[in-house]
Structure 1
Amino acid sequence: MSALLIFDEEGRLLEKVEDPQEIAERLSDINVLFERWEPSAPLNEDAGEEEVLDAFRDQINRLMIRFGFQSCDVVALTPDNPKKEELRNKFLDEHTHSDFEVRYFVYGDGVFYLHPNDKVYVVHCEGGDLISVPPNTPHWFDMGESPNFKCIRLFTTPEGWVANYTGSDIAKKFPKYEGIVSLD
């Protein structure tokens, strides 16, 4: 189940929200877009990039026009990936981007940790969830020890995903993926 957990900066849980509409409203207060999408046709987990993009063409086009995205792709990660630990560690420290970080979870899940102010907004995203983190928003991401997801990504810049690490150790104060999922 999708969930929003709001913590103070010391890692104390202040609030838990599970209703998708309320999650969207709470995240809009910090300029983060959260939506639930449905494909135009049923998709299997083994659907290829073009089939996935075609199934969400209307939603993708709407966001491309609204935010000026120039490209999109599909990325998938499975538990048997030999680089899964290396990839997980790449995202675990707080960082920002000069571009949006947009992910639509076709299937699977992941946890975004957003730190735009004196709180940390932890969003457990699952299949059907779209999250768009604005440029320069401090955040980190955890896919868990056995990642299993497929996501659509949208970009405004040709470079795509480029992290600017903040040097903060705040991520160490919060439960990783497994701990967050157990709170749901």
Structure 2
Amino acid sequence: MSILAVYRQDQLQEPMRVLTHAEDIARDLARVGVLWWQFPLSQPLADDEALRRQFAPQVEQLMLEQGYRHAEIVNKPPLPAYLEAEEVVAESWHSHPQEGLRLFLRGGGVLSLLVGDEVLSIGCQPGDALKVPADIVHSFRGRPGEDCMLVCLMPGMDGVQRQDYTGLKGFRPLDI
């Protein structure tokens, strides 16, 4: 089940609202310029090459439709399963100079976005797709014991560059 928790930046201890219905999640994210949808997964595939083959037509179609010229398959190794959720460290907060589309193929985690005075934390799972505008500060935290494979699409190689952000140190989204 997908979930979205929305926090005020000055009150990060607990979310203002938590959404669990796909239509509500999509509407709330669209309000800040982020597109979210779910694409069908036939069955979970453990083999990386099988996943690549299965989704190659969708990736090619999205690249043509959206004008993306760069695709990158990202494998995030599993965090040790013995870690408690509060011990899991997220990647550093950063942004990219170009929009990006993320397609979650296996595993998942929490993608947190800093937009204005809000932090939006999306519990991502296989079949989730997110189109994040350029310059939105974000961070991803995987789940303990679970690797994550996703495809990242960008207009060009410039989108791969990271711009680090040092605010929000110590923010911990709900374990979603």
What TM-score do you get using the length of structure 1 for normalisation? Answer: 0.78
Matched residues in 2 for 1:21 and 1:57: separation? Answer: 27
Amino acid at match of 1:4: L
Residue 64 (structure 2) aligns with = 65
**How well do the aligned residues superpose, as a CA RMSD in angstroms?**
2.4
Residue 8 (structure 2) aligns with = 8
Matched residues in 1 for 2:58 and 2:45: separation? Answer: 19
Amino acid at match of 2:19: V
Q: Deviations over 1:28-78 (max 9, x none)?
A: 111111110114x54521141xx4344334543443234321022322233
Q: Secondary structure at the match of 2:166?
A: coil
Matched residues in 1 for 2:158 and 2:134: separation? Answer: 14
Residue 123 (structure 2) aligns with = 124
Q: 2:100, 2:155 within 8 Å by CA — same for their partners in 1?
A: no
Q: Percent identity?
A: 22
What runs of 5+ residues in structure 2 fail to find an aligned partner?
81-87
Q: Secondary structure at the match of 1:63?
A: helix
Runs of 4+ in 1 over 6 A off after TM superposition: none
Equivalent position to 2:22, from 10, 20, 23 = 20
Residue 47 (structure 2) aligns with = 46
Q: Deviations over 1:92-150 (max 9, x none)?
A: 33221112232211121111111111111110101111112111111211114444111
Matched residues in 2 for 1:8 and 1:142: separation? Answer: 19
Q: Map of 1:144-159 to 2, 5 A cutoff?
A: 144-159=143-158
What TM-score do you get using the length of structure 2 for normalisation? Answer: 0.81
Q: 1:145 to 1:157 in 2, by over 3 A?
A: same
Q: Number of aligned pairs?
A: 167
The question of 1:102 aligning with 2:101 is answered: yes
Amino acid at match of 2:155: T
Matched residues in 2 for 1:80 and 1:96: separation? Answer: 23
